[in-house]
Amino acid sequence: MFKLLSKESNIFSIPVYIVFLLFIVILFNILNFNTYEAIVAGITFLGIALAYFCFHSIALNYQTHLPLFLYTFFIFGLYPGGIDIGIAVALLTNAFLMLLLTSTNEDLRKKSYVLVGSIVALNFIFLPTTWPMAVFVLIHVIATSERVSLNIIRFLLGVLLIVISYLSTMYFLDFTTWNLDYFPFGKMTIITDYHELFPLIPIALLLIYAIYDHFSNYNKKSPISKYKYTFLLVFSLAQLVTIILYMNKNYEYLLLLAFPSSIILSRMLRFLPKYWMRELSLWLIILSLIMFKAETYFDIF
């Protein structure tokens, strides 16, 4: 299978994966279909589908089928069907952020910081527990911008525009009180029971090895590859903070790591020295996700 997935993808590949993704979303929502669930499923589908185009934007996958396949299988294994609208919006906004922030065109990035700030604020409104993403974006702006102060002002302007629009709309609708349940700080419940996550241990170990292997061969990487891989790692760290602090038993939060994990693992598989190692690791990832999916339904562990 690894040899098949290592072939170069073409213009028809992404639509095929998106159609399969649409089938997965419809299949998992068909039993509890209503207007609200249809809207959430639609947002989820758009966010996940847009992420397929991010593979080309980040350009760390060598244009093969492998990361597309892994991402599709991650969605199959981690998507529970009815997810919170906040997670759905986070998947969509994360895809937009990756498209904007991974651009190597400095002029394009600096012109997009107002939009980036708006996206981050919108993400926080729908899912306040994603506040680490705002910290990540600020760190990214400081680390990569030539005119840091100006770009931070642009970012904050985008945030302010959404905040003013949101508060004005809520006031117009006569919602004039603040619900403290939406304030994410002080309500952190770090998960203590990991038994349902046991099937994902092989994937976690492979991710750790992939990151170790990347830094072991760091000097061999091109400057653009180093920049984008570092971006991906810090982006993943922001998602991981949210997952550790707020996931608890809401395992749909793991979808936030599906995209970066697909790229990191696909690069690791490509650079393994032996073919049998690549094939074995690929099947280990697939079986781990199948076991996790089965665990969520049948409580195997």
pLDDT digits (tens, 9 = 90+) for 95-107: 988 888 877 676 7
pLDDT at 112: 86
SS3 assignment, position 81: coil
Model confidence at 285, pLDDT cuts 50, 70, 90, reads very high
- Helix axis angle, 258-271 to 275-298, nearest 10°: 150
Per-position b or e across 6-25, b if 16+ CB within 10 A of its CB: eeebeeebbeebbeebeebb
Average pLDDT, the chain: 82
Structure-block tokens of residue 133: 């993403």
With CA atoms as reference, report the closest residue to 285 among 194, 202, 195, 197: 202
- Which of 9-13, 118-122, 156-160 bottoms out in mean pLDDT, i.e. has the lowest? 9-13
Q: How many CB atoms are closer than 10 A to CB 177?
A: 6
Q: Is pLDDT above 70 for 177?
A: yes
Structure-block tokens of residue 202: 């092989």
Rg for the chain, CA atoms, rounded: 20
Residue spans per domain, the chain: 2-104+190-298
Average pLDDT over residues 204-226: 85
Query: Whole-prediction pTM value?
Result: 0.88
